[in-house]
Structure 1
C-alpha cells in the first residue's frame, strides 16, 4: 500500500442499533442473552485459582443490531462475596484499551478492606476481542501499534509505512469483526453480564481506559449504575488516538525530568550524569545514535522508533525508576558494543514491542480506532511533530505521531457523548503520564454528580491497588462500603 492510500474494509460502515438497558422489552431479541444461565468452572489461571475465583463464558451478540446473528463469548471471573454480607457486584476493567482483565480484581481486591471485599462479587472480564473473549488477532510483525516518528522526515515516512501496513493486516485478518470491537459494545456486554449475574445494578472499578468504558456505561445504562470508581481518568472529549495521545507528550517529558533528577542523584551507580541536564542529554544522544545505528541487544535491534517507548512504559510509576535505569544502562552498554546480559524485564518489553511475542496489541487499536476517527493526512501529524520537538525532545515524536487509526475506516457508530449526573468517584494523580490530570478534570466536568480525589505530586498511573496511599484508599473503600460520595472534592498528598 502506498503512503496516503486508505483502507476500504467491506462492512466497516454498517450501522449499529443501541441495545436496551435490561432486555425488558419482548421485541428486542436480546432476552436470550440477558436470561442465560452461567456455568462456573475453574479458571485454570494460577493467580485466579489461588484467589478462589471461578470463571465462565457469557454469550453476547457480535452485532447488537442483529441479535439473531453471529455470537461471541466474553470471559469473566468471579471472586465471590461472603453470602452473609453480600451487597452487590463490582465489574471492572484494567485499561489499555485492549487489556485483559480476567485476573484484575485480584489486585484491586487486595487494596480493599476485608469488609468491603467480603461485600461484593468481584468480577474480572476480558473485554470482547481481548484475551479469552473471542480475541482479535491481526498477525502483526511487531507487537505494539504505537511508535515514535523518529528524528527526521525519513524516520517519519518509515513510521507512516509501518502503521499503514499494520492497519492493512487488521483489515485482511479481522475486517468482518472489526466494526463490532468497540467500547459501546463492551458496555452492552457489561449489561448482559449484569443481567446474567442476576443483578439489578452493578458497581464498577476501572482504571485508565477503563474509566472511559465506565463513563460510557453510565451514559448508556444510567439506571443500572451503582457505585462507580474511575481511577486515572480519561476525559471523554479527548479520548482516542489523537488528543489523548498528544496529552502524554508534556506529561512524559515532566516525568523524564523527575527520573533524570533521581538518576543524577545515583550517578555513582549508573554514571548517566550528575545533573538533570546531563542525564537528559545522554538520553537524547542515545536516541540519536539508535537512529544512525540500531542497538543490538539480545535478539533485538532497537532504533529511534522504539527506544523512547522503553522510557514511556517505565515512567508511569516512581517505583520503577530503578528498573528504568537498569534497562537504560543495558541499552547504552549495548550501543557501546559492550557485552550485555539482557534482563528478563527488558527482554519481555522488547519482545512485545518489536517481535509480537507472545501476542500483539492489535485489540488495542481495534477498540480505539473503532471508537474515534483519526485525521488521515500524514502531513497534519508531521506538522504537529515538528512543532513539538523543541519542548518535547524525547516524546514529542511519539505523542504526536500517527497510529494505524489514520488508515482505518470511520467508526460504525458516533462517538459517545458523556454528560450525565450518575454519581461517581474519580481518582487522579497530578503527575499521571498516561491519562493526564487535565483528563481527570474533564471527566469530573462531564459526570456532573461526581467527586474527585486528587493525589498531589506523584507521577503514578493507576493508584488503587498499585500505589499505596491511605488517603486515596480510604476514600475508595468508604465509597464502596457506604455508597456515599465525599461532601466535597478531596486532595491527598504522598
Structure 2
C-alpha cells in the first residue's frame, strides 16, 4: 500500500511503433494455451496517441518518447470467454536501437491498484542506455488507471485504520469494515469476483500475445513482484529477464496485508526520528530520536482523548497511526522533511486544539476522508481480498491486536486490525501456488517497512536460480529507479537487463546517505 508523498525527449513517427508491433499475426499456436481464447490473443487493437486531454502530462511525456497506446480486449471471466468483455489499457515505448532489440519489457508498479502507464516515462529514464533496446510496455491492470474503474463508492481511499485502544473501538472498526464490504457488494458486486492477480496475469499474457512475443521480460515493483510470481507459475516459460524490487514471498502475504511489519515500521520511524532530532531548531520535535518519538506518542495520546482538529478534518486514534505509517518507506531527504512538517502540524493540533493543514496533509487528507479516491481503494482491496482473503472471524483479529499491542502500541493495532476481507464475497479461485524456480534478479532493502527483507531472502531460497541484491542501511521500499538514485542497484539491474546474465553471486549495496 502506498500512501507516501510521491512525485509522480523526442517525438518519433508512429510508423516505428507500428513496425515494432506488426508481429501480431505471427503468434504461434503453441503460445495460446486455450484455443477458446484465440480471438483475444490474435486481436489487432487500434494504436493511438497516449495523450487523453490537454491536462494529461504523463501522456504528453509518453508521446515525446514516441509511445502509442491501445485498449486490449479481455474476458471479464476467463472461464466464460464468450461472455462479457472489458478492456485493459496498454502503452508501448518502442525500442530505438532496433538492430539490437532485446524484446518487450513489461512493468508493473505495484499497489495493487497502481497504474503502470503514467510512470512509464520514469522507468524509461531509469533504464538509461538499455531503454533503447526494449519495447517498454506499461499495462494498467484491470479496473486500474486508464481502465474502467471498480468503484465501491467508499468515503475513503483505504480501508486501513487502527483498531483503537479497547474492545469498544474494535467493535466500531468491525462495523466500519463490514460497511465497506457491503458498499462493494452493492455498488461493484458484478466485478468483485474478477479482480485478482490470477486474472491480471491472464490479461498480461493476452497482451504478450497481442504484441507477438513468445516471451517477455518483466520488472515488478512491490505487489508487482507477487503478480510476476503468479504469472511465472501460471505461464511457465514465457518470461525472459525478470527483476523483482521489494520482494513479496507468496506464503507471507496472508493472513492480511501488512501483518508482521510492526518492528520494521518502528525501525523506519526511529531512523527518521534520528534525522529529525538534528533538525530540532527547524521543526521543534525534539533534540534526540527518543524525544522525537515521544512527541509522536504524545500526538497519539492526544488523539485518543479527543480527535485532532486539522483544518476541517478530525484525526482520531484510528487515523493518526495510519498517517505515520503512510509516509514511511521513501527514505529520501525531501520525504524526511515532509514527515517532519506533518508531525509538526499534528503536534500543534495536539497542543493548541487546532491546526491548519500543511501542504502534504492538505493533499493527503481528502483522499483518506472523502470519496475522492474511492476507486483506488476499492480496487486495491478487491485484489487483496482475492489473493489473501484471511480469516473471517473477527475474534481472530481481536486476539492478534491484543498480542501485538503490548509490544507495538502505535503500529500493532493498525497492522492487525480487521479488514473488509472478513466480510467479502469469497474469491472465485484459490490463490496461486508458486512452486517453480525462475532465474530472476531480486532487490530489497534490509530496513524495508512495507515488505520485510526476510521475504526477499525466503523468495531467493525458493528460487535458487535467482540472485539477490541486498541494500543495507536503507529503509526504502523499492530501490531501483530515479527517486532513490542508488547507482549500485541501478547499474546492476540495467546490466542484467542489457546482457541477460545474472550476477555470478549475490550483491550487497549500501543505502547509507
Distance in 2 (CA, whole Å) between partners of 1:384 and 1:339 is 34
Partner of residue 398 from structure 2, selected from 382, 396, 421: 382
Cα distance between partner residues in 2 of 1:107 and 1:343:
27
2:345 matches 1:334: no
> TM-score of the superposition, structure 2-length normalised?
0.89
Q: CA deviation at 1:240?
A: 4.1
Per the TM alignment, residue 338 of structure 1 is displaced from its structure 2 partner at its CA by: 6.7
- Separation of aligned partners in 2, 1:48 and 1:444: 37
TM-aligned CA distance change 1:427 to 1:25, over 3 Å: closer
Q: How far apart are 1:25 and its partner, in Å? A: 5.9
Q: Which residue of 2 aligns with 1:238?
A: 252
Residue 245 of structure 1: CA displacement? 1.2
Secondary structure of residue in 1 paired with 2:261 = helix
- Match among 134, 137, 142 for residue 128 of structure 1: 142
- Give the match for residue 10 of structure 2: none
Distance 2:371 2:317 in 1: 18
Give distance in 2, aligned partners of 1:318 and 1:132: 29
1:257-268 mapped onto 2 (5 Å cutoff): 257-268=270-281
Match of 1:107 in 2: 122
Which residue is equivalent to 1:11? none
2:201 counterpart SS class:
helix
2:45 is aligned to 38
Residue 129 to residue 241, structure 1, CA distance change in 2 (3 Å): farther
Matches within 5 A, 1:102-181: 102-114=117-129, 116-181=130-195
How far the C-alpha of 1:228 sits from its partner, in A, is: 0.6
- Give the C-alpha shift of residue 284 in structure 1: 1.4
* 1:469 match: 486
Matched with 2:410 is 394
The within-5 A match list for 1:288-299 is 288-299=301-312
The aligned counterpart of 2:59 is 48
Instruction: Pick which of 284-293 and 180-189 moved more.
Output: 284-293
In the other structure, the counterpart of 2:448 is 432
User: For 1:367 and 1:148, how far apart are their aligned partners in 2?
Assistant: 21
**Separation in 2 of the partners of 1:299 and 1:207?**
35
Specify the alignment match of 2:381 in structure 1. 365
- Rounded to whole Å, the distance in 2 between the matches of 1:315 and 1:260 is 11
- Does structure 1 residue 256 correspond to structure 2 residue 253? no
Partner of residue 439 from structure 2, selected from 406, 415, 423: 423
Change (3 A) 1:27 1:345: closer
Q: CA deviation at 1:359?
A: 3.6
CA contact (8 A) 1:431 1:457 kept: yes
**Does the CA contact (< 8 Å) of 1:237 and 1:442 recur in 2?**
no
* Candidates 308, 314, 326, aligned match of 2:321: 308
Task: Work out whether 1:95 is the aligned partner of 2:102.
Answer: no
Deviations along 1:14-40, one digit per CA (max 9) or x if unpaired, are: xxxxxxx97756963100000010211
The match for 2:365 among 326, 338, 350 is: 350
Match of 1:441 in 2: 457
What 5-or-longer segments of structure 2 have no aligned partner? 1-27
1: CA distance between counterparts of 2:406 and 2:294? Answer: 14
Separation in 1 of the partners of 2:292 and 2:124?
Answer: 39
Given that 1:241 and 1:368 are in contact with CA atoms closer than 8 Å, whether structure 2 keeps it comes out as: no
Q: Distance in 2 between matches of 1:309 and 1:109?
A: 32
Are the counterparts in 2 of residues 418 and 446 from structure 1 also a CA contact under 8 Å?
Answer: no
Distance apart, 1:67 and its partner CA: 0.4
SS in 2 for 1:462: coil
Q: Residue 178 of structure 1 contacts residue 366 of structure 1 at CA under 8 Å; is this kept in 2?
A: yes
Q: Which structure 1 residue ranges, 4+ long, deviate > 6 Å from structure 2? A: none
Greater alpha carbon shift after TM alignment, 419-428 vs 226-235: 419-428
Aligned partners of 1:229 and 1:425 also within 8 Å: yes
Where 2:444 maps in the other structure, the secondary structure is strand
Q: How do 1:269-288 and structure 2 match up within 5 A? A: 269-288=282-301
Task: Give the aligned partner of residue 502 of structure 2.
Answer: 485
**Cα deviation digits, residues 142-187 of structure 1 (max 9, x gap):** 2211111112222221111111100111111111211111000100
Count of residue pairs brought into register by the alignment? 472
Contact persistence 1:420–1:448 (CA under 8 A): no
- In structure 2, distance between residues paired with 1:410 and 1:205: 30
Aligned CA-pair RMSD = 1.7
- Shift of residue 317 of structure 1? 1.8
Shift of 1:247: 2.3
**Alpha-carbon distance in 2 for matches of 1:424, 1:391:** 36
Q: Does the CA-based 8 Å contact 2:156-2:374 persist in structure 1?
A: no
Question: For the Cα contact (< 8 Å) 1:23–1:31, is it kept in 2?
Answer: no
User: What is the CA–CA distance in structure 2 between the aligned matches of 1:90 and 1:168, rounded to whole Å?
Assistant: 39
How far has the Cα of 1:409 moved from its partner? 2.8
- Cα pair 1:24 1:31 within 8 Å, conserved: no
How far is 1:77 from its partner? Answer: 1.1
Q: Does the CA contact (< 8 Å) of 1:48 and 1:106 recur in 2?
A: no
Residues 336 and 47 (structure 1 numbering): CA distance in 2 closer, same or farther, change over 3 Å?
same
The equivalent of 2:215 in structure 1 is 201
User: Corresponding residue for 1:16?
Assistant: none
Match of 1:28 in 2: 35
- Cα distance between partner residues in 2 of 1:102 and 1:23: 29
TM-score normalised by L of structure 1: 0.92
Residue 18 of structure 2 aligns with which residue?
A: none
State the alpha-carbon separation in 1 of the partners of residues 81 and 107 from structure 2. 25
Q: 1:26 to 1:336 in 2, by over 3 A?
A: closer
